[in-house]
Amino acid sequence: LPELYHKIGVGSVTWSPLACGLITSKYDGRVPDTCRATVKGYQWLKDKVQSEGGKKQQQAKVMDLLPIAHQLGCTVAQLAIAWCLRSEGVSSVLLGVSSAEQLMEHLGALQVLSQLTPQTVMEIDGLLGNKP
């Protein structure tokens, strides 16, 4: 798709770079009353957060990304946002925040973006295993 986007002059907008908050570890196996997983239509997220397999899978990915984030001096959330932004076909990344503090932390991804080398991106792609 990046080739098509470039050819016709459009970009894509990515949704949920933090996997609905799963990457932030804010759920830790429970669903707070104030989070998206309690909203009607998000039962799939609540199920994923509370399922043993879902918790283990997300925790494993976060743990795999943690050394890369530490090496770059950022959080895993900032790394994930920067990883989305680095794609040639992406013109914007939608962030869902609930406070100004959270927004400022996420905007730190812009500092990380310039540190993402092709080797780092390949390493992340390999860890995530979700490249098309």
Write the pLDDT tens digit of every residue in 73-131: 999 999 999 999 998 888 899 998 888 999 999 999 999 999 999 999 999 999 988 77
pLDDT of the residue at 82: 96
Which pair of tokens denotes residue 103? 């927004």
Instruction: Break the chain into its structural domains and give their ranges.
Output: 2-17+52-128
CB 25 within 8 Å of CB 32: no
pLDDT of the residue at 54: 65
